[in-house]
Amino acid sequence: MKMQNGGCVVILIYLVSLFKESYSISYRNFDTFFKNITGGKNINLRPVLDHKSKVNINMSFHLIYIQEFNEVEGKLSLTGYFNISWVDQTLSWNSTENGIEQFTFQEHIIWKPSFIIGNPYDGVNLIYKDENVMRVQSNGVVTWTPGDNYEVFCNADVSRYPFDTQICKLEILPWGYTNEEIVVVPIYDYVVQLWFNPQKTWEFIDSSVTKREDIQLLEFAMKLKRYPMFFVLNLILPICVMIILNIFVFLLPPESGERVGYAVTVLLAITVFLTISSDNLPATSSPRISSISLLLFADVCISAFIVIMVIVSSRYYHREDKYPVTKFMRGFVNVSRIVRCKMCCCRRKKEKYSEKGNKEEIKWTEVGKEIDIVCGICITAAICIINALYIIDVAV
């Protein structure tokens, strides 16, 4: 029994020694193998045994980081790398003879395809650098992973800024080859996010990969959504506060003499926010003007109207009583009182205004006060409607 166990141990040791001998490769042996495999290669010829055959190029894009998306300039800056693979029919070998399954080498030794960015932001750019390396397997599969910082053009749609969602594309197409020479095949139908680091301004929502067969162009589309809270706190809410403060100008006593200055100050503050938002948006109206720009423009118009009505009401309020109130103004005051009483007053006041009507003596101060009340109600309703339309527009 002991001899049988000892024999098994001897056989096991012998097999392990054979395994080590067959798969231990010295530097000199590997150098000789490398020179035999890569020597005499013409990097200008496609790696096919039949020149009429096509080379299938498999490609995918791995996104690492979104550096910047400048919607004003339409520039998207990405950091990532491409995983490109093809079969080199001149580089296959039998791995069982020498134990070499794969190895790496500099990319300038053998043939590689040329690709350019189809939508570059500045100039025509190739997607690789000469210091990249390649990995080749015993079956002839070559894997190439060029990486860089890529700047592409992306036309931003800021119609719902800052609640906007952008779809930007990274377009890649072969350079110098026809459809009869190479065929580009996407490995995945999405952008790989294995090493992706989230960006603080934009959220990566979705991605897709499409191909144009006529020019072998791959489009890596990325859907980005902006984080809006910073802009809500620093732009939208201050605008809402400014326009609400505008209404309180009609509550200031006309005797204070500060009404016009107050209204003009609020108008200038809203104009400043309009300038700030314009600096952060592209100077374009396609597909349409931004909702925040329309909101600010409407607020500026309302503020300008408030300034005009404050001046008019102050003029009527301070008019001397020696000038009789015109028939039109008496009618305006009576109609305004009746309408307001039908909405919120008691029955006795309704009858009082209905019976006396034009018989009651009306002074210019009452005309000014009535103008303030009517303008305050109408402008409040207009502000509520405008802001509701903005919320509906950005939410749908």
pLDDT at 173: 92
27-227 has which fold? Answer: Acetylcholine Binding Protein; Chain: A, (2.70.170)
pLDDT at 122: 85
3-state SS string for the chain: CHHHHHHHHHHHHHHHHHHHHHHCCCHHHHHHHHHHHHCCCCCCCCCCCCCCCCEEEEEEEEEEEEEEEECCCCEEEEEEEEEEEEECCCCCCCHHHHCCCEEEEECCCCCCCCEEECCECCCCCECCCCCCEEEEECCCEEEECCEEEEEEECCCCCCCCCCCEEEEEEEEEECCCCCCCEEEEECCCCCECCCCECCCCEEEEEEEEEEECCCCEEEEEEEEEECCHHHHHHHHHHHHHHHHHHHHHHHCCHHHCCHHHHHHHHHHHHHHHHHHHHHCCCCCCCCCCCHHHHHHHHHHHHHHHHHHHHHHHHHHHCCCCCCCCCHHHHHHHHHHHHHHHHHHCCHHHHHHHHHHHHHCCCCHHHHHHHHHHHHHHHHHHHHHHHHHHHHHHHHC
The C-alpha atoms of residue 145 and residue 133 are separated, in whole angstroms, by 8
The C-alpha atoms of residue 225 and residue 206 are separated, in whole angstroms, by 10
Confidence class for position 17, pLDDT limits 50, 70, 90:
very low
Q: Is the pLDDT of residue 151 over 90?
A: yes
Q: Which CATH superfamily is domain 230-325+363-395 in?
A: Neurotransmitter-gated ion-channel transmembrane domain (1.20.58.390)
Question: Who has greater pLDDT, 230 or 341?
Answer: 230
pLDDT at 181: 92
pLDDT digits (tens, 9 = 90+) for 107-119: 778 888 999 999 9
pLDDT digits (tens, 9 = 90+) for 288-339: 888 888 888 898 899 999 999 888 888 888 887 777 877 888 888 888 787 7
Q: Is the pLDDT of residue 203 over 90?
A: yes
pLDDT digits (tens, 9 = 90+) for 81-139: 999 999 998 888 887 877 788 888 877 788 889 999 999 998 888 887 667 788 898 88
Q: What is the mean pLDDT of the chain?
A: 82
Task: Tell me the pairing of strands 182-186 and 55-70.
Answer: parallel
What residues contact 95, with CB distance under 8 A and at least 6 apart? 101, 138
Token pair recorded at residue 255: 């005797």
| Alpha-carbon 359 to chain mean position | 65
Of the chain, the percentage scoring pLDDT greater than 70 comes to 87
Q: Is the CB of residue 375 less than 8 Å from the CB of residue 144?
A: no
Task: Indicate the range of 79-93, 101-115, 202-216, 352-366 predicted with least confidence.
Answer: 352-366
Task: Indicate the range of 25-39, 251-265, 290-304, 356-370 predicted with least confidence.
Answer: 356-370
The C-alpha atoms of residue 53 and residue 55 are separated, in whole angstroms, by 7
How many CA atoms, within 13 angstroms, populate the side-chain half-sphere of residue 393? 19
The C-alpha atoms of residue 308 and residue 249 are separated, in whole angstroms, by 12
Residues of the chain with CATH 2.70.170.10: 27-227
pTM: 0.77
pLDDT at 3: 44
Q: Is the CB of residue 185 less than 8 Å from the CB of residue 166?
A: no
Residues of the chain with CATH 1.20.58.390: 230-325+363-395
